[in-house]
Structure 1
Amino acid sequence: MTGTAATAREPLGQLIVAERFGVEVPTFQGEGPSCGHPAIFIRLSRCNLTCESCDTKETWDWSRFKPQEVSTRESVQDLVAWVRPSPVELVVITGGEPLLQQRNLVPLVRRLLDEGRRVEFETNGTVMPAPALLVDGVRFNVSPKLASFGMDEAKSIVPSVLRAFAASGRSVFKFVASSVADIDRIAELVDRHGLAPVWVMPEGTTVEAITSTTRVLADAVASRHWHLTTRLHVAAFADPKGR
């Protein structure tokens, strides 16, 4: 795999967006603690990692994609206006790595909270969250990337950031796993950095693969009293892209 991790340099008041969905065509949060809850998604472009198994490479891999073709700049005002007609409470801000754009995420989150929404961030756990985002109504779904995900852990595991998320009281830790060896590695990270609560999600992009991997992992996850999640959108929709 070749590619260049992309950083975000956006004008003040704008965010670099890869896609947004869940307003015109309703959908669910498919993973983690809010699995099955109605949700609106804002997927931001750009990432600081280059995971081989990434399923959203259009947010960072400029060896395969042209950024001007797979992302747009949208104002905070326009994003809030897009969300406003929906009765759905949960807004999920994902990526890429959304926390690369924290400067303009702060006003977006404030506006969403003021309008009665709650916000979940999906982050890889390598970027320190701004204090202004550690507020009531915001949760971080922190998903550190293991070596088995095709990423050098010297880059994907940042102890100081993981500990800050753990200490915030506003984070859960969601690990993608494909083997019992992955579960053992997760246990090492959990013990070393005090990570809790823990969710494990089986790797896979088809119902068959997810089911098979779930059966491989289930006993090891249960024995540690962790949470087990699935990828509901893969099971629920024939084409889960944009759902």
Structure 2
Amino acid sequence: MTAMTGSSAQAGVDREFWLIVSEVFGDTKPTFQGEGPSTGVPALFIRLAQCNLTCSWCDTKYTWDWKRYDIAKETHRRSVEELIAWALAYDVELVVISGGEPLLQQRALVRLVRGLREGGKRVEFETNGTVLPDSSLLVDGVHFNVSPKLANSGVAEAKRIVPAALEAFASSGRAVFKFVTRSVAELDEIQQLVDDYGLAPVYVMPEGTTPEGLIETTRVLADAVAARRWHFTQRLHVLAFAEARGR
């Protein structure tokens, strides 16, 4: 995707409809959705910058950790119209919008999603479930992979669990709830959130940034997750591409 030119900026593109983007991918090097109910489906990715959480195990800290990464190098301003044109140029039905936390920029996302849907795309959001979704995003062809963070994230509960947002996602009928998990003991923590906020369906995903780590955690969790009759999802992109960025 090319940067905005000076002439484009002078054309008066409404600043309200710009997004702070970390990266886009799935075009020159095809890839697929690696997690959740669409695992293995070919996909384009729009990864937005900025996050309201600071999870210790986050594997995309380059979208928000400006003590460790250079914000000028890691972020780019893109117009919504430019992103729509980029996505519609490829014969890939699914567009995944992730982050960071994408819903921090959802005012512009309403227009982005409308353009993608009008172009025949299906949209999935990867969100931490702390931001109340705009009703304009709760439409046909748009789904949310909501990943409430557990204590293993190192983030205070009051910051990572927002009841009103979780209840809105749960009642929307357009969300699944995906939990990054390290141990069998953490399944009780998930169960409490499920009971408190009516979260369903539940997907458990082993934490890990290497194929070896994922396999190990998968084997630790598998029997216990199966016993609860929850879904079990992998991080297929990690298994397939290891730690390669933009895959």
Q: Which residue of the partner structure matches residue 122 of structure 1? A: 126
Query: In the alignment, is residue 187 of structure 1 matched against residue 222 of structure 2?
Result: no
Q: Which residue of the partner structure matches residue 148 of structure 1? A: 152
Residue 69 of structure 1 deviates from its aligned partner by 1.4
Query: In the alignment, is residue 39 of structure 1 matched against residue 53 of structure 2?
Result: no
Task: For structure 2, list consecutive stretches of 5 or more residues without a partner in the other structure.
Answer: 1-13
Q: Which residue of the partner structure matches residue 163 of structure 2? A: 159
Query: In the alignment, is residue 217 of structure 1 matched against residue 221 of structure 2?
Result: yes
TM-score by length of 1: 0.94
Matched residue SS, 1:92: strand
Query: In the alignment, is residue 70 of structure 1 matched against residue 74 of structure 2?
Result: yes
Instruction: After superposing the two structures, state which structure 1 stretch, 61-70 or 45-54, moved more.
Output: 61-70
Matched residue SS, 2:67: coil
Matched residue SS, 1:129: coil
Task: For structure 1, list consecutive stretches of 5 or more residues without a partner in the other structure.
Answer: 1-9
CA distance in 2, matches of 1:193, 1:223: 21
209, 221, 234: which one pairs with 1:230? Answer: 234
Cα distance 1:159–1:143, how it changes in 2: closer, same or farther (>3 A)? same
CA distance in 1, matches of 2:175, 2:89: 28
List per-residue Cα deviations over 1:175-220 (Å, max 9, x = no partner). Answer: 0000011111001100111000000000011111101101111111
RMSD: 1.1
Residue 239 of structure 1 deviates from its aligned partner by 4.3
List per-residue Cα deviations over 1:122-158 (Å, max 9, x = no partner). Answer: 0000000000000000000000111112211111011
Aligned length: 234
Q: Which residue of the partner structure matches residue 91 of structure 1? A: 95
CA distance in 1, matches of 2:211, 2:195: 31
Q: Is the 8 A contact 2:97 2:124 kept in 1?
A: yes
CA distance in 1, matches of 2:242, 2:108: 34
Q: Which runs of 4+ in 1 moved over 3 A?
A: none
CA distance in 1, matches of 2:185, 2:85: 46
Instruction: After superposing the two structures, state which structure 1 stretch, 173-182 or 10-19, moved more.
Output: 10-19
Among the aligned pairs, what percent are the same residue?
A: 65
List per-residue Cα deviations over 1:76-114 (Å, max 9, x = no partner). Answer: 111111112211100000000000001100000000000
